[in-house]
Structure formats: structure tokens, C-alpha cells
């Protein structure tokens, strides 16, 4: 059997004057979305230099001491910005909390902005790591420069998705106006050699919650995508300059599950540090997600009730973080119980 891989699509065709090249991109994207919702793109609009700069920012940030990183802890706010320690999240039931640390960034939303005032999904100011000192301005530039370039590309990707579903190219424009998108700088330490392979994960098997995810990997592999057809994991080999694109649950729901939101995970067995930068593009928080007309026949029922972007994404967050918290609480309870048992066990008297 030939080795399975995630297709690499040359996105430059979308910007071409030649309708044949543009249609080719649309057809390749459709094929991937119907198969497992994962593809890589090259020839896109984000310059390599911007990609390199943001990756350097990530490495500099994670090189800070734990104490310095904790100064910008995500626990300081409720809008999902800042540092998240190792083992904070747990996406796969039956595994251990995950071996990754992260730094969450988004659009810098001022406290006078209606999104902040109305406590919209993931909306508020960023937390910036002052501990970077002179390097802070470069960090802001590097991260936000990449973030904005990626969101421009996200809008183009949504145009291609619209065309792939036989919709007007601008069908998703309203959803993308005022879209809430979170970027995560991620660092996966190399998995310890004695780690239980079955339970240790950089990130457990999961599907993404939002519309689309755009992921930049550094040079170390570890990302795997589940292939339903062959019941195997496909390794997503890092490809210089390429972005991995996948569809999230919101997009699958919107298309009446015609397009796939696929299971993926990270296990870093490389013996090296792994870095990656996903951006989760979720859309305008109040936008109502209701089955796209071309995704069901006129007499067919939609599989899901209409719900807003915010309702769909918030529910998914609450579930995954709740699972990690529950695991920690149970582990702490077990530890306390065993300490109490040791203290109260009868001591043998000679």
C-alpha cells in the first residue's frame, strides 16, 4: 500500500488570472474536505520571512523561566489570552494531561470595544510578556504581523470553500467580518523515554472546535491525522513554508457533515523540542450557523439545530478544560486518600 499523506495544494492558482488554475485549487480543496478535511497549502500569501519571525518569537517566549511565563498566565483573564502551563488541557479521554505549553494571542480588543463590554467569545486585550524586555516590541510585531497576514489568507480560503460548495464566492464574508480568531504558540517538549506511550500525548486525539484551523509547523514532526478508510494515523510531514489547513466541528456542522472535521493528535517522540502555531478561525460570535442550502436536498432534514458561533465554540471549550480539571481533582483526591491511609495504618510494635 502506498504511504498515505496529506495532499499539498499549490494555492497560487487561486490568485491566478487563469480560471482553469483557480478551479483546480477549488476542486482539490473540495476533494480533501470530503475525504478527511485536511490539506496543506504552498504558494499562499504569507511570506516565509513572516513565518520565520513568528516561530522565532515562539521560541524566545518559551525560553523564559516558568515564573516569567506565569506572569502572563491565561488564568489572569477570562478571554483566553496568555500562557498555559504544561498539562493544562486534556482532549483525549483515558490519557494523561497533555505535554505541551502554549501562549494564546488574538486581536488586541480594547476594553471599550463592544465585544469586550458584551463579553463576546475570546475577546479582550492581549497579555504581553514584559519579561522579554527589549525584545518585547519585536515579539508584538512578529506575532501580530503573522496573525494579520494569516487572517487575510483565511478570508481567501473561505472564498475557495464557498466555491467548492457551489456557493457565491462571497458567501462567508459576513461570517468573516469581525471574526474571532485565536492564535496559539505551542511548544511540545520531547516526550520522556519512559513515558507510557499509550497515555502520553503532546495533544490528545481530538477534532478542532471552530471553522478552519491554519497550522504552521516548525521542522519537527509529530502531528498525525486519523485515516478512517485504512484505520491508520497519517504523519503530517513538515513542509517548508506550507500551512496545514483543517476544518473544525463548526464547519462540519454547517455543511451538514458533508465536509469532515477530522481527528488528529500530536505525539512528540522525536527526541527534539517541537513548536507549532495554529490559528483557529471561528467567525463572528453572533453569526447564526444553520445548514448551508447546498449541503442538503430540499426534502432533507438538517442534522443540527441552528446555533451561534459563540454557543458552539464555548460549549466545546468548557468540555475539554473540564476534563483536565476533573482528572487533576481525582488525582489529588487519590493522593490525599493514600496519605490519610498511610498515616492511620496501624504501626507494628515489636
Binding site for ligand AKG (CB under 6 A): 184, 186, 203, 208, 215, 217, 223, 264, 266, 276, 278
Phi, psi of 301 (to 5 degrees): -85, 145
Burial track 47-73 (b if 16+ CB lie within 10 A, e otherwise): eeebbebbbebbeebbebeeeebbebe
CB of 248 vs Fe ion, minimal distance in Å: 8
**CA proximity to 136, closest of 57, 75, 83:** 57
Residue 41 interacts, among Fe ion, ligand AKG, none and using kind-specific CB cut-offs from 5 to 8 Å, with none
Q: Are 90 and 323 in contact (CB under 8 A)?
A: yes
In angstroms, rounded to a whole number, what is the distance separating the alpha carbons of residues 166 and 183?
Answer: 30
Residue 25 interacts, among Fe ion, ligand AKG, none and using kind-specific CB cut-offs from 5 to 8 Å, with none
Which lies closer to ligand AKG via its Cβ, residue 74 or residue 264?
Answer: 264
Which lies closer to ligand AKG via its Cβ, residue 107 or residue 218?
Answer: 218
Q: DSSP for 254-323, please give it.
A: HTTTSS----EEE---SSS-EEEEEEEE---TT-EE---GGGS-TTSPPSS--EEHHHHHHHHHHHHHHH
CB of 154 vs ligand AKG, minimal distance in Å: 16
Q: Rule CB under 5 A: which of 186-245 touch Fe ion?
A: 208
Which lies closer to Fe ion via its Cβ, residue 159 or residue 265?
Answer: 265
Extract long-range pairs of 30-35: CB within 8 Å, 24+ residues apart.
30/164, 30/165, 31/7, 32/7, 33/161, 33/164, 33/247, 33/259, 33/260, 34/258, 34/259, 34/260, 35/260
CB of 139 vs ligand AKG, minimal distance in Å: 20
For residue 152, give every residue at least 6 positions away whose Cβ sits within 8 Å of its Cβ, in sequence order, or none: 45
Which lies closer to Fe ion via its Cβ, residue 26 or residue 263?
Answer: 263
CB of 296 vs ligand AKG, minimal distance in Å: 28
Which lies closer to ligand AKG via its Cβ, residue 160 or residue 186?
Answer: 186
Which lies closer to ligand AKG via its Cβ, residue 13 or residue 95?
Answer: 95
Residue 223 interacts, among ligand AKG, Fe ion, none and using kind-specific CB cut-offs from 5 to 8 Å, with ligand AKG
CB of 278 vs Fe ion, minimal distance in Å: 6
Residue 72 interacts, among Fe ion, ligand AKG, none and using kind-specific CB cut-offs from 5 to 8 Å, with none
Residue 217 interacts, among ligand AKG, Fe ion, none and using kind-specific CB cut-offs from 5 to 8 Å, with ligand AKG
Residue 234 interacts, among ligand AKG, Fe ion, none and using kind-specific CB cut-offs from 5 to 8 Å, with none
**CA proximity to 217, closest of 67, 37, 8:** 8
Residue 266 interacts, among ligand AKG, Fe ion, none and using kind-specific CB cut-offs from 5 to 8 Å, with ligand AKG
Q: Are 204 and 211 in contact (CB under 8 A)?
A: no
End-to-end CA distance of the chain: 69
CB of 311 vs ligand AKG, minimal distance in Å: 20
Which lies closer to ligand AKG via its Cβ, residue 132 or residue 266?
Answer: 266
Binding site for Fe ion (CB under 5 A): 208
Amino acid at each position: 500500500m502506498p504511504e498515505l499523506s496529506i495532499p499539498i495544494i499549490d494555492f497560487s492558482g487561486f490568485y491566478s488570472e487563469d480560471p482553469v488554475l483557480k478551479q483546480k485549487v477549488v476542486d482539490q480543496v473540495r476533494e480533501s474536505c470530503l475525504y478527511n478535511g485536511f490539506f496543506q497549502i504552498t504558494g499562499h500569501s504569507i511570506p516565509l520571512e513572516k513565518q520565520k519571525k513568528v516561530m522565532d518569537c515562539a521560541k524566545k517566549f518559551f525560553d523564559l523561566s516558568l515564573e516569567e511565563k506565569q506572569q502572563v498566565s491565561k488564568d489572569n483573564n477570562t478571554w483566553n489570552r496568555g500562557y498555559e502551563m504544561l498539562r493544562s488541557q486534556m482532549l483525549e479521554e483515558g490519557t494523561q494531561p497533555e505535554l505541551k505549553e502554549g501562549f494564546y494571542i488574538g486581536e488586541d480588543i480594547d476594553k471599550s470595544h463592544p465585544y469586550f463590554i458584551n463579553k463576546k467569545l475570546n475577546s479582550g486585550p492581549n497579555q504581553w510578556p514584559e519579561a522579554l524586555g527589549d525584545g518585547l516590541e519585536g515579539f508584538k510585531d512578529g506575532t501580530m504581523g503573522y496573525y494579520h497576514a494569516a487572517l487575510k489568507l483565511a478570508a481567501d480560503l473561505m472564498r475557495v470553500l464557498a466555491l467548492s460548495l457551489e456557493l457565491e464566492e462571497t458567501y462567508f464574508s459576513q461570517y468573516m467580518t469581525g471574526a474571532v480568531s485565536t492564535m496559539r504558540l505551542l511548544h511540545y517538549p520531547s516526550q520522556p523515554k519512559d513515558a507510557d506511550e499509550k497515555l502520553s500525548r503532546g495533544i490528545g486525539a481530538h477534532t478542532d472546535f471552530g471553522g478552519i484551523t491554519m497550522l504552521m509547523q516548525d521542522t519537527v514532526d509529530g502531528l498525525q491525522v486519523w485515516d478512517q478508510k485504512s484505520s491508520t494515523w497519517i504523519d503530517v510531514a513538515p513542509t517548508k513554508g506550507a500551512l496545514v489547513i483543517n476544518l473544525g466541528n463548526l464547519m462540519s456542522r454547517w455543511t451538514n457533515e458533508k465536509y469532515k472535521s477530522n481527528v488528529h493528535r500530536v505525539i512528540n517522540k522525536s527526541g527534539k523540542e517541537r513548536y507549532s502555531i495554529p490559528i483557529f478561525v471561528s467567525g463572528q460570535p453572533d453569526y447564526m450557523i444553520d445548514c448551508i442550502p447546498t449541503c442538503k436536498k430540499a426534502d432533507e432534514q438538517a442534522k443540527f439545530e441552528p446555533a451561534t458561533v459563540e454557543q458552539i465554540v464555548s460549549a466545546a471549550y468548557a468540555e475539554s478544560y473540564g476534563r483536565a480539571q476533573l482528572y487533576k481533582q481525582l488525582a489529588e483526591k487519590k493522593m490525599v486518600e493514600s496519605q490519610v491511609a498511610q498515616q492511620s495504618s496501624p504501626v507494628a510494635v515489636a
